[in-house]
Amino acid sequence: MADAPKLHRVLPSHGPLAGGVTIRVEGENLASVERLLLAGRPVRIDGASDREITFELPRGKQAGLVDLTLEHQGRATTRPRAFSYDASQNLKIRSVSPRRGPSGTELTVVAEGAVPESRVSVGGARPLSVSMSDDGALLVMVPHAEPGRLVDIEVENPDGQRAVAVRAFRYE
């Protein structure tokens, strides 16, 4: 039976809420880690040696400190508050497509700093549905409205940040 893994430090110890950066865990007996959890969610390990594990930071659910857990032979080693997701900075809508369509059209809204819990409005109305694609774009099903109406698309994060794409979609 291999020795239990020991976690010394996480580098960097903080990162963007959007994820996508490489994180390195330093310690001992890390090659035997079977599963890594961040904020209680499994993370794919990209590389592991006795002294280091690397993984790509997944998108976070909210800003703040989270636990990191290493699982080995049915046992868990947890470092509370080992990593901090930074608050999204400068929420910004990069694109909205398509730019026109009927009620029920699915929009792809690329919003830098958006999170799965972001709220979206279309011309001030709640969309029929909102989800986040694997690449981080918001998929928005536009609600019913009269043809010819030109509307703003607004995204709001749980931390209160808002971004608006003015006159971004026309109902046909």
Q: Which domain holds residue 121?
A: 92-171
Please give the pLDDT value at position 21.
78
Q: What is the DSSP string of 82-116?
A: EEEEEPP-S-EEEEEE-SEE-TTPEEEEEEET--T
Could you say which of 86, 104, 128 is where a domain stops?
A: 86
- Host H or E run for residue 115: none
Distance of CA 39 to the CA centre of its chain: 12
Helix, strand and coil in the chain, % to nearest 5: 0, 55, 40
Q: Is residue 1 part of a domain?
A: no
CATH number at residue 77: 2.60.40.10
Do 10 and 78 fall into the same domain? yes
Please give the pLDDT value at position 31.
94
How far apart are the C-alpha atoms of 143 and 151, rounded to whole Å? 11
Q: Name the one residue in this structure whose structure tokens are 């006159």.
A: 167
Q: What pLDDT tens digit does each residue of the chain (172 aa) get?
A: 678 899 999 988 888 887 877 899 999 999 999 999 999 999 999 999 999 999 999 988 888 999 999 999 989 999 999 999 887 567 889 999 999 999 999 999 999 888 777 899 999 999 999 998 877 899 999 999 999 999 999 999 877 788 999 999 999 9
